[in-house]
């Protein structure tokens, strides 16, 4: 197991030295990355001696010495490090680093690594009490929390600036415990291949028109990223969306329900878990017109049913855990339970799409996860959090496969 330990420029930087040792005591390799600011407080040599590894001190120095030209190996090292680590831990995390992480600013090795890695991220902030309670810092923390970053809250006490209050770096054992949690989470789906469908489908009416729905794909894309962070291989079959998939997901883009069906059936043998968030069209025009339909007068479209991909998967002989999603506007739980049975699923995640501000085309969601033995309410929260709860269930179902 390997942790990247980012050290940013605060007076608490020296405390990260002890964290290196505590992690090593647990058999974990530590790759230290120091920001320019951190090097004002502690010399890289301290961390190099403790970790037994070369300390990364800036974007271009990793592969060579000060006089050598940056080479391609060093310039892409952040990608190599990003892919090789099981967790990224930042001790101490300054207000500046939190702001850069939250806004996606990548102007040095540590901030670039943060964007490039799919491993769990743990930050231990330390700063002056006013900086900590400033709305800007709190808003950045909230954003990071929503995106799944674990935050080890600072303690209360006497601060180096002479003030007292929250801002003091958390105790080392709390920091190490959070890092261990991150590491455990990073392995939970190791060895699993999660097939996720996301977004809407488009059913052609003629060359310029189609039938579609309000799905944005956000739920499926959040699940893809969350599954990657838990160590899974992720196959994402996506209908048309404007979203960028998490790096590391193997993406197949499709348009129609039938294309989605073909892609899913092709990938199915590789999957161990299938999560179908896609809002697949239930109907499509019987025939797509070859030419643009002219505006001659009222017209009607003959629609036919698409194949229910989920039902087809579930009824075939299979070893995968299958989780469906259901959008309902009335009799929410009752209808979802019927779908769980009729599509012989292991779990169904139902959302009441009649509610304002959650579900379709929103960052937030409120769902109920129904398995054959449990009903789990997930009150309104971010889609990232919903993704975590759905994966918690996938992990449990995987351990104790349900009879369907």
Which class for 243: exposed (0-12), middle (13-18), buried (19 or more C-beta within 10 A)? middle
Contact call for residue 306 and ligand CTP (CB under 6 A):
yes
Rounded to a whole number of angstroms, the minimum distance from the CB of residue 103 to ligand CTP is 34
Report, in Å, the least distance between residue 85 CB and ligand CTP: 34
C-beta of 264: minimal distance to ligand CTP in Å? 8
Q: 237: which 2 tokens?
A: 């079959």
236 touches ligand CTP by CB under 6 A? no
Return the residue of 12, 127, 327, 370 that touches ligand CTP, per CB under 6 A.
327
Out of 153, 161, 208, 305, the active site residue is: 161
d(CA 277, CA 164): 48
- Tokens 């259901």 identify what position? 326
CA angle 281/391/137 to nearest 5° reads: 105
Q: Does 326 bind ligand CTP (CB under 6 A)?
A: yes
Q: Which of the ranges 22-30, 82-90, 119-127, 303-311 carries the binding residues for ligand CTP, by CB under 6 A?
A: 303-311
| DSSP codes of every residue in 84-97 | H-SEEEEEEEPHHH
Residue 370 touches ligand CTP, criterion: CB under 6 A: no
Q: 298: burial class by Cβ within 10 Å (0-12, 13-18, 19+)? A: exposed
**In angstroms, rounded to a whole number, what is the distance separating the alpha carbons of residues 164 and 156?**
7
Nearer to ligand CTP, 91 or 309 (CB): 309
Q: Report the residue number, 108 or 203, with the smaller CB distance to ligand CTP.
A: 203
Sign of the CA dihedral 141, 147, 153, 154?
A: negative
Q: What angle do CA 319, 343, 353 make, to 5 degrees?
A: 120
Residue recorded with tokens 């190599």: 80
276 binds ligand CTP (CB under 6 A): yes
The alpha carbon of residue 118 and the mean position of all alpha carbons in its chain are separated, in whole angstroms, by 8
- Residue 40, C-beta contacts closer than 8 angstroms, at least 6 positions apart: 9
Under rule CB under 6 A, how many of the chain's residues touch ligand CTP?
Answer: 15
Least Å distance, CB 90 to ligand CTP, is 37
362 CB neighbour count, 10 Å cutoff? 17
Q: Report the distance separating Cα 295 and Cα 272, nearest Å.
A: 49
> Is residue 257 within the footprint of ligand CTP (CB under 6 A)?
yes
Nearer residue to ligand CTP within complex by CB, 108 or 328: 328
E strands, 199-258, are 203-206, 209-211, 233-238, 250-253
Applying CB under 6 A, the span of 4-12, 101-109, 235-243, 277-285 interacting with ligand CTP comes to 277-285
316, 309 contact by CB (below 8 A): no
Near ligand CTP by CB under 6 A: residue from 23, 324, 351, 352:
324
User: Is 280 near ligand CTP (CB under 6 A)?
Assistant: yes
- Among 308, 344, 376, 381, the residue binding ligand CTP under the rule CB under 6 A is 308
CA distance 296 to 153: 66
Element housing 228 (H / E): helix 218-229
Q: Which is nearer to ligand CTP, 15 or 284 (CB)?
A: 284
Query: Which of 186, 365 has the CB closer to ligand CTP?
Result: 365
Is 18 among the residues that bind ligand CTP (CB under 6 A)? no
Minimum distance, C-beta of residue 259 to ligand CTP, in the bound complex (Å):
12
Residue carrying structure tokens 């030295």: 17
Residue of 278, 314, 370, 397 interacting with ligand CTP (CB under 6 A): 278
Nearest to 234 by CA among 271, 286, 268: 271
- The piece of 32-40, 87-95, 240-248, 318-326 that touches ligand CTP (CB under 6 A) is 318-326
Q: Does 263 bind ligand CTP (CB under 6 A)?
A: no
Closest among 158, 176, 15 to 92, alpha carbons compared: 15
Closest CB to ligand CTP among 132 and 325? 325
Q: Which residues within the stretch 381-400 sit at the binding site for ligand CTP (CB under 6 A)? A: none
Q: Could you confirm whether 161 is annotated as catalytic?
A: yes
Query: What would the x/- binding string for ligand CTP be over residues 185 to 204, using CB under 6 A?
Result: ------------x-------
Q: How many residues does the chain have?
A: 404
Catalytic residue ranges: 161
Residues engaged in binding ligand CTP (CB under 6 A): 197, 257, 276, 278, 280, 282, 306, 308-310, 324-327, 339
């Amino acid at each position: 197991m390997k942790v990247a330990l980012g050290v940013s420029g605060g007076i608490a930087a020296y405390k990260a030295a002890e964290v290196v040792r505590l992690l090593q005591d647990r058999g974990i390799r530590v790759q230290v990355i120091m920001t320019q600011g951190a090097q004002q407080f502690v010399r890289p040599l301290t961390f190099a001696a403790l970790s037994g590894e070369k300390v990364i001190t800036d974007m271009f120095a990793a592969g060579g010495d000060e006089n050598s030209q940056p080479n391609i190996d060093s310039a892409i090292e952040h990608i190599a490090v990003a892919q090789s680590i099981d967790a990224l831990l930042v001790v101490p995390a300054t207000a500046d680093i939190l702001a850069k992480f939250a806004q996606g600013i990548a102007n040095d090795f540590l901030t670039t690594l943060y964007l490039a890695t799919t491993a769990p991220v743990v930050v231990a902030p330390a700063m002056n009490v006013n900086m900590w309670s400033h709305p800007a810092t709190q808003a950045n923390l909230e954003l990071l929390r929503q995106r799944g970053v674990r935050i080890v809250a600072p303690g209360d006490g006497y601060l180096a600036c002479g003030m007292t209050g929250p801002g003091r770096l958390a105790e080392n054992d709390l920091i190490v415990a959070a890092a261990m949690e991150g590491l455990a989470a990073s392995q939970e789906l190791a060895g699993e291949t999660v097939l996720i469908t996301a977004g809407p489908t488009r059913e052609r009416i003629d060359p310029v028109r189609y039938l579609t729905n309000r799905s944005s794909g956000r739920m499926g894309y959040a699940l893809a990223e969350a599954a990657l962070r838990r160590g899974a291989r992720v196959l994402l079959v996506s209908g048309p969306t404007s979203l960028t998939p998490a790096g590391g997901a193997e993406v197949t883009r499709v348009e129609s329900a039938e294309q989605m069906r073909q892609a899913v059936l092709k990938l199915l043998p590789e999957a161990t878990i299938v999560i179908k968030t896609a809002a697949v069209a239930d109907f499509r025009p019987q025939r797509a017109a070859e030419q643009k339909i002219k505006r001659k007068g009222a017209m009607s479209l003959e629609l036919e049913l698409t194949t229910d991909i989920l039902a087809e998967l579930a009824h075939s002989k299979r070893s995968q855990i299958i989780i469906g999603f259901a959008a309902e506007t009335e009799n929410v739980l009752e209808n979802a339970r019927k779908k769980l049975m009729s599509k012989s699923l292991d779990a169904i995640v139902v959302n009441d799409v009649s509610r304002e501000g959650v579900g379709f085309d929103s960052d937030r969601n409120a769902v109920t996860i129904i398995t054959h033995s449990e009903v789990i309410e997930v009150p309104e929260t971010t889609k990232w959090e919903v993704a975590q709860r759905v994966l918690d269930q996938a992990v449990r179902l995987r351990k104790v496969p349900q009879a369907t």
